[in-house]
Amino acid sequence: MLKIVSARDYDDMSRKAANIISAQVILKPDTVLGLATGSTPIGAYHQLIDWYKKGDVGFSQVRTYNLDEYRGLSHDDPQSYHYFMRDNFFDHINIDLNNTHVPDGANPDAEAACAEYDKMVADAGYPDLQLLGIGNNGHIGFNEPDDHFSKGTHCVDLTESTIKANSRLFEREEDVPRQAYTMGVQTIMYARMILVVANGAAKAQAVHDMCFGPVTPQCPASILQLHPNVVLVADKEALSLCE
Ligand code: F6R
């Protein structure tokens, strides 16, 4: 079942998403969270930091597994997703960094890095709650439009549109890594609850296709229609084609 929650704007979307994550962690302090990077969830992370500082929610027993990491970037590279997570979330809450996991982009052996990550996520019993952003082309994690749905963690070549979209975070477009390790669609579907956040008009088509289009690997997010417990929190612009 896919439930759509409409938010007024980015801040409202962020607070609503943070509320859902916070409720999950309050109800189950040793929650396994699947986490995403990108611009969209930053507001939710900052809201959770604020509530943590006020004493409303704690993360001491939480374990996290991020969706993806650029291949070739080490954990301390400022452009890595590992660094992003520390900078935007982990370094500001009481999480044990040993309980936070991101695929090892520094391991050039793609097969070994992906197999190791799959085992870690499986050993943790898969996320209780998986937070997802959505790409303009409907990608989730770095699972790009394709002729089949991916299974476990694997190495992908990023599409031109994703490289272009992500280049805003790099000095030059040619600095954007061309490959990434990402959890597969099947792994994402193993999460017991999925929370998708989306804002802005650029996401409107992808959000529409995710909720109402055919279930097809050409829009990887469309498979979420088959998941029993998905919540989409999106602002008016992202929902503009869903009326
Ligand atoms: C990030 C990720 C990506 C992003 C997506 C949207 O870990 O897996 O799928 O969620 O590219 O990115 P933003 O939020 O920057 O628009």
- Which letter, b or e, does each residue of 46-55 get, where b requires 16 or more Cβ atoms within 10 Å of its Cβ? ebbbebbeee
The first and second tokens of residue 83, run together, are 């660094």
The first and second tokens of residue 41, run together, are 């969830």
Our mutation pick for probing the ligand 1 site, out of 10, 33, 40, counting the most ligand atoms within 8 A of Cβ, is 40
Nearest residue CA, atom 2 of ligand 1? 141
pLDDT per residue as tens digits for the range 10-22:
999 999 999 999 9
Span from the CA of 133 to the centroid of ligand 1 (angstroms):
5
**Mean pLDDT of the chain, nearest integer:** 96
Q: Please indicate, yes or no, if residue 211 is contained in any of the structural domains.
A: yes
Q: Is the pLDDT of residue 239 over 90?
A: yes
Active site residues: 68, 137, 139, 144
Q: Please indicate, yes or no, if residue 113 is contained in any of the structural domains.
A: yes
Confidence of residue 31 (pLDDT cuts 50, 70, 90): very high
C-alpha 225/C-alpha 215 separation (Å) is: 7
pTM equals 0.97
Span from the CA of 147 to the centroid of ligand 1 (angstroms):
21
What Rg value do the Cα atoms of the chain yield, rounded? 17
Q: Please indicate, yes or no, if residue 240 is contained in any of the structural domains.
A: no
Span from the CA of 38 to the centroid of ligand 1 (angstroms):
4
Q: Please indicate, yes or no, if residue 239 is contained in any of the structural domains.
A: no
| Domain of residue 186, residue span | 2-233
Q: Please indicate, yes or no, if residue 238 is contained in any of the structural domains.
A: no
C-alpha 192/C-alpha 37 separation (Å) is: 20
Q: Please indicate, yes or no, if residue 37 is contained in any of the structural domains.
A: yes
Q: Please indicate, yes or no, if residue 180 is contained in any of the structural domains.
A: yes
Q: Please indicate, yes or no, if residue 8 is contained in any of the structural domains.
A: yes
Report how many domains make up the chain.
Answer: 1
Nearest residue CA, atom 9 of ligand 1? 141
Give the CATH number of the domain where residue 78 resides. 3.40.50.1360
CA-based nearest residue to 17, from 194, 191, 195, 141: 195
